[in-house]
Amino acid sequence: MAGKMHVVMLPWSAFGHMIPFFHLAIAIAKAGIRVSLVSTPRNIQRLLKPPPNLSSLIKFVELPFPVMENGSILPEGAEATVDMPFEKIQYLKAALDLLQHPFKQYVADTSPD
């Protein structure tokens, strides 16, 4: 039955990853499969909206961007590689690693395929 299968996608926070994952989510939804595309709020806000005929099958899941112990490491509002200089990407990775627990909790709560 369409919509019963559920795929969760967590792309790296770079638009060279997020945009292809978004297009893949559309292709998967066209096959009748539900897709949850997980990212941080600012990244999700910057993605396109899914086509209206697929919007019931594609869900954007926002995990709050983690607060680093030293908040000055990353530029304010930086949630993707486009938001910072190359030398700070390592700190973005460290921040996104902190999403491990909320992501695991989301997967445990939703039991995707």
The answer as to whether 44 is a domain residue is yes
Residue whose tokens read 């902190």: 98
Write down the pLDDT at residue 49: 95
pLDDT digits (tens, 9 = 90+) for 48-60: 999 999 999 999 9
Write down the pLDDT at residue 74: 79
- Residue 92 — φ and ψ, nearest 5°? -60, -45
The answer as to whether 1 is a domain residue is no
Write down the pLDDT at residue 1: 41
Task: Quote the CA–CA distance of 102 and 66 in Å, as a whole number.
Answer: 10
Task: Quote the CA–CA distance of 46 and 65 in Å, as a whole number.
Answer: 15
pLDDT digits (tens, 9 = 90+) for 71-98: 567 778 889 999 988 988 998 999 999 9
The answer as to whether 65 is a domain residue is yes
Indicate the number of domains in the chain. Answer: 1
Strand partners, 8: 36
Residue 29: which domain range?
6-110
Flag whether the pTM goes above 0.75.
Answer: yes
The answer as to whether 56 is a domain residue is yes
